[in-house]
C-alpha cells in the first residue's frame, strides 16, 4: 500500500512535493549552518583562551550567542512542522477516503510519516552539507575581516562531531516534524475528514477593522487580501512570527550598531583628532610623570611636529600617554613603524596609530554588520519558506476560493492585485510593529548616549534597511506568483465542482 501511494502522490502533486523538499533543504541547511558556526566559534574561543593563558568562562556575549542559536533552532523546527502540517492537512479528505476503505489509524500515520521522511530526508541531508559549507565560508570571511585585530592563529575547521550532530539533528527534526501532524490526523474520524476536508483551516471571519480601512483606501483587492491573511493566520503563524522577529531584530541591532559607531566617532576619533596621530602608552607609568628622554626621542623622529604628555579624558588612569603629532598620514605610518621596532619585545608598551585604529574599527563593524545580516536573513528565510509552504501547499483550496471570486465578478487582474497586496502585507505588518518599537528604543538609547538625535537621524541606515525589506519581499512575491500561476491554470470555475 505504501509504495503505490507514494508513487501516485509524487506523480500527481509535484508542486507540493518540490515545495516540501525545498523547505526541508532550506531548514536543514540553516540548521547545519547554526551548528557549524557554533562549533567553530567555540573552538576559536578555546584557542584564544589557551593563547592568553586564561580559563574559559561564561560571558554575556557567549550567553547572547547561545540564545540566538536556540532561537534559530526552535524557529527551524517550527518551520518544518508548519510545512508538514500544511502539506498533510491539504489531503484530509483523501485520508478520510483511505480510512473508509479499511485503513487503520496506524496505517495512516505510517503513510504520512513515510511520505514526509522519503520526500524530506534526502533534501535535508543535502541541505546539511550546504549549510556546513556556508558556515565554513562565513567564519573564514569573519576571520579574514578581523585578522588585523588577532594576535593568535585561529583554527578554522568543522569537527566530525559537528557534522554528525547536524545530520542527526536534521533527521530527528524531520521525523518529529512529520510525526506530530501525522499522529493528529491519524486520529481524525472518517466522516469528519471526508465531510470537512480542509475547512478547519478556512474558517470564515468577519472583516476586521484593518481590512475595512484598506478596502476604503486601496480598493476591494486590498480588503480581500487582508481578509485572506486573517483567515489563514493560524496556518501562517510561523511565517508571521519569524518575519516579524527578523525585521525587528534587524532594525534594532542595526540602529544600535549605528548609534555605537557614532558614539565611538564622537568620543574617540573626533575627540583625539588634532591631539595625536600616534600614541605611545606605558602601562602603570603615570606616577613617574613625564620622561624627558622619551619626549626627546619622539621629537627627534622625522615628520614629528609636536609631542604632548597625558590625556585629560583619562585622568584616573595609571598609564602614561605620549601623544605625537605628525605632518602627514605617511609620516604617521613611518613613525608608528619606527616606534613599534623601537619598543618591540618590551612589556607594557603599546603603540597606537589613530588612522589604523579607524580602519580596524571599521573592519570590526563590518563583521558585526555581516553577523546582523546573516542572523536576520536566517529568521526571514524561515518565515519565507513557511510562506512558500502555505501558498504552494494550499493550491487546491485556494483554487476553489478563486473560483468563487471569479464567479462573483472578480477579474484576473484584480486577483493578481490581491496576491500582490497579500505579499506586501506580510512584510508591512512586521515593519509597522518594528518601526513603532524601534522609535521608542532609539529615543531612549540616544538620550543616554553622547550622540545628538539630529546626528543619528542624519546617519540612520535607511538604505540598508530598505535593501533588507526588498530582499525579504521578493521571495514572498515569487511564491505568490508561482501559486497564482498554478491556481489560474485552466478553467478556474471548474474548481467549484470539485
Q: What is the mean pLDDT of residues 366-370?
A: 79
At 470 the pLDDT is 92
Q: Is the pLDDT of residue 492 over 60?
A: no
At 327 the pLDDT is 92
The phi, psi pair for 218, rounded to 5°, reads -120, -5
The band of 276, judged by pLDDT with boundaries at 50, 70 and 90, is: very high
Instruction: Tell me 269's DSSP state.
Output: I
Contact 339, 278 (CB under 8 A): yes
Q: What is the pLDDT of residues 84-129, one digit of tens each?
A: 776 666 666 666 666 667 667 777 777 777 777 777 888 888 988 9
At 129 the pLDDT is 92
What grid cell was written down for 36?
557549524
At 496 the pLDDT is 47
- What whole-number distance in Å separates Cα of residue 411 and Cα of residue 407? 9
List the beta bridge partners of residue 321.
Answer: 281
Q: What is the pLDDT of residues 410-442, one digit of tens each?
A: 787 888 888 888 888 888 888 888 888 888 888
| Residue that the C-alpha cell 585585530 belongs to | 149
* Nearest one of 98, 197, 240 to 400, comparing CA atoms: 197
What grid cell was written down for 235?
496556518
Burial class (CB in 10 A: 0-12, 13-18, 19+), 63: exposed
Write down the H helix ranges in 187-269.
190-196, 209-218, 220-231, 237-264
- Helix, strand, coil percentages (3-state) for the chain, rounded to 5, are 75, 5, 20
Lowest mean pLDDT among 305-309, 404-408, 457-461: 404-408
Q: What is the pLDDT of residues 290-320, one digit of tens each?
A: 888 889 999 999 899 999 999 988 888 889 9
**Most confident stretch, 7-16, 79-88, 239-248, 465-474:** 465-474
- What whole-number distance in Å separates Cα of residue 7 and Cα of residue 115? 10
Q: How many CB atoms lie within 10 A of CB 460?
A: 14
Please name the residues in contact with 45: beta carbons below 8 A apart, sequence gap of 6 or more. 56, 62
The band of 199, judged by pLDDT with boundaries at 50, 70 and 90, is: very low
Q: What is the pLDDT of residues 60-84, one digit of tens each?
A: 445 555 665 666 667 667 767 766 7
Contact 47, 39 (CB under 8 A): no
The phi, psi pair for 310, rounded to 5°, reads 95, 180
State what percent of residues in the chain have pLDDT above 70.
Answer: 75
Q: What is the pLDDT of residues 122-166, one digit of tens each?
A: 888 898 899 899 888 878 877 776 666 566 677 788 888 888 888
The band of 321, judged by pLDDT with boundaries at 50, 70 and 90, is: very high
At 308 the pLDDT is 92
State what percent of residues in the chain have pLDDT above 90.
Answer: 11
- What whole-number distance in Å separates Cα of residue 456 and Cα of residue 283? 35
Q: What is the mean pLDDT of residues 318-331?
A: 92
The phi, psi pair for 411, rounded to 5°, reads -85, 165
Q: Is the pLDDT of residue 463 over 70?
A: yes
Lowest mean pLDDT among 97-101, 193-197, 468-472: 193-197
Lowest mean pLDDT among 21-35, 429-443, 466-480: 21-35
**Most confident stretch, 177-191, 218-232, 294-308, 441-455:** 294-308
* Nearest one of 339, 389, 482 to 85, comparing CA atoms: 389
Q: 99 or 231, which is more confident?
A: 231
Contact 320, 309 (CB under 8 A): yes
Give CA separation, 381 vs 25, 80, 84, 126, 471, in Å.
Answer: 12, 12, 17, 18, 10
At 62 the pLDDT is 55
Q: Is the pLDDT of residue 322 over 90?
A: yes
Q: 268 or 59, which is more confident?
A: 268
* Nearest one of 114, 441, 77 to 255, comparing CA atoms: 441
* Nearest one of 211, 249, 484, 477 to 380, comparing CA atoms: 249
Give CA separation, 138 vs 7, 134, 167, 185, 472, in Å.
Answer: 39, 6, 20, 41, 20
At 13 the pLDDT is 62
* Nearest one of 77, 395, 429, 103 to 245, comparing CA atoms: 429
Contact 81, 175 (CB under 8 A): no
Please name the residues in contact with 477: beta carbons below 8 A apart, sequence gap of 6 or more. 420, 423
- What whole-number distance in Å separates Cα of residue 429 and Cα of residue 471? 16
Q: Is the pLDDT of residue 324 over 90?
A: yes
Contact 487, 399 (CB under 8 A): yes
Please name the residues in contact with 22: beta carbons below 8 A apart, sequence gap of 6 or more. 123, 385, 388
H/E stretch holding 333: helix 329-342
Q: Is the pLDDT of residue 225 over 60?
A: yes
The overall average pLDDT reported for the chain is: 78
3-class DSSP assignment, residue 201? helix
- What whole-number distance in Å separates Cα of residue 253 and Cα of residue 370? 11
3-class DSSP assignment, residue 349? strand
At 72 the pLDDT is 62
Amino acid at each position: 500500500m505504501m509504495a503505490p501511494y507514494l508513487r501516485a502522490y509524487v506523480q500527481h502533486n509535484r508542486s507540493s512535493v518540490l515545495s516540501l523538499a525545498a523547505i526541508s533543504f532550506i531548514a536543514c541547511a540553516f540548521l547545519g549552518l547554526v551548528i557549524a558556526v557554533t562549533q567553530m566559534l567555540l573552538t576559536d574561543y578555546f584557542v584564544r583562551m589557551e593563547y592568553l593563558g586564561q580559563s574559559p568562562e561564561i560571558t554575556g556575549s557567549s550567553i547572547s550567542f547561545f540564545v540566538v542559536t536556540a532561537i534559530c533552532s526552535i524557529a527551524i523546527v517550527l518551520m518544518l512542522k508548519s510545512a508538514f502540517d500544511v502539506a498533510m492537512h491539504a489531503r484530509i479528505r483523501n485520508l478520510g477516503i483511505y480510512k473508509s476503505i479499511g485503513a487503520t489509524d496506524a496505517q495512516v500515520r505510517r503513510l504520512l510519516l513515510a511520505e514526509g521522511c522519503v520526500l524530506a530526508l534526502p533534501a535535508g541531508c543535502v541541505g546539511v552539507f550546504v549549510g556546513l559549507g556556508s558556515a565554513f565560508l562565513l567564519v573564514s570571511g569573519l576571520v579574514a575581516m578581523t585578522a588585523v585585530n588577532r594576535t593568535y592563529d585561529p583554527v578554522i575547521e568543522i569537527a566530525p562531531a559537528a557534522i554528525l550532530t547536524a545530520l542527526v539533528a536534521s533527521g530527528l527534526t524531520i521525523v518529529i516534524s512529520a510525526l506530530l501532524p501525522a499522529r493528529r490526523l491519524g486520529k481524525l474520524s472518517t466522516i469528519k475528514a471526508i465531510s470537512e476536508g480542509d475547512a478547519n483551516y478556512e474558517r470564515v471571519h468577519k472583516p476586521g477593522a484593518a481590512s475595512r480601512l484598506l478596502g476604503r483606501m486601496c480598493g476591494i483587492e486590498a480588503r480581500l487580501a487582508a481578509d485572506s491573511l486573517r483567515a489563514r493566520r493560524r496556518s501562517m503563524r510561523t511565517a508571521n512570527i519569524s518575519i516579524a522577529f527578523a525585521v525587528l531584530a534587524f532594525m534594532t541591532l542595526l540602529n544600535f550598531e549605528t548609534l555605537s559607531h557614532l558614539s565611538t566617532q564622537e568620543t574617540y576619533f573626533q575627540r583625539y583628532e588634532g591631539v595625536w596621530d600616534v600614541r605611545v602608552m606605558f602601562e602603570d607609568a603615570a606616577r613617574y610623570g613625564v620622561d624627558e628622554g622619551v619626549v626627546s626621542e619622539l621629537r627627534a623622529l622625522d615628520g614629528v611636529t609636536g609631542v604632548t604628555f597625558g590625556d585629560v579624558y583619562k585622568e584616573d588612569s595609571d598609564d602614561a600617554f605620549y601623544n605625537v603629532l605628525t605632518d602627514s598620514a605617511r609620516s604617521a605610518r613611518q613613525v608608528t613603524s619606527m616606534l613599534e621596532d623601537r619598543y618591540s619585545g618590551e612589556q607594557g608598551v603599546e603603540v597606537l596609530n589613530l588612522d589604523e585604529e579607524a580602519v580596524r574599527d571599521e573592519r570590526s563593524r563590518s563583521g558585526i554588520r555581516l553577523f546582523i545580516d546573516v542572523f536576520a536573513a536566517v529568521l526571514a528565510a524561515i518565515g519565507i519558506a513557511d510562506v512558500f509552504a502555505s501558498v504552494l501547499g494550499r493550491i487546491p483550496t485556494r483554487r476553489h476560493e478563486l473560483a468563487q471570486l471569479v464567479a462573483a465578478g472578480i477579474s484576473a487582474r484584480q486577483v493578481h492585485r490581491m496576491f500582490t497586496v497579500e505579499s506586501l502585507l506580510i512584510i508591512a505588518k512586521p515593519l509597522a510593529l518594528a518601526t513603532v518599537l524601534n522609535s521608542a528604543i532609539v529615543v531612549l538609547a540616544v538620550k543616554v548616549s553622547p550622540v545628538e538625535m539630529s546626528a543619528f537621524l542624519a546617519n540612520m541606515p535607511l538604505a540598508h534597511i530598505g535593501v533588507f525589506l526588498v530582499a525579504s519581499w521578493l521571495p514572498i512575491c515569487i511564491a505568490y506568483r508561482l501559486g497564482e500561476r498554478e491556481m489560474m491554470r485552466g478553467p478556474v470555475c471548474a474548481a467549484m465542482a470539485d
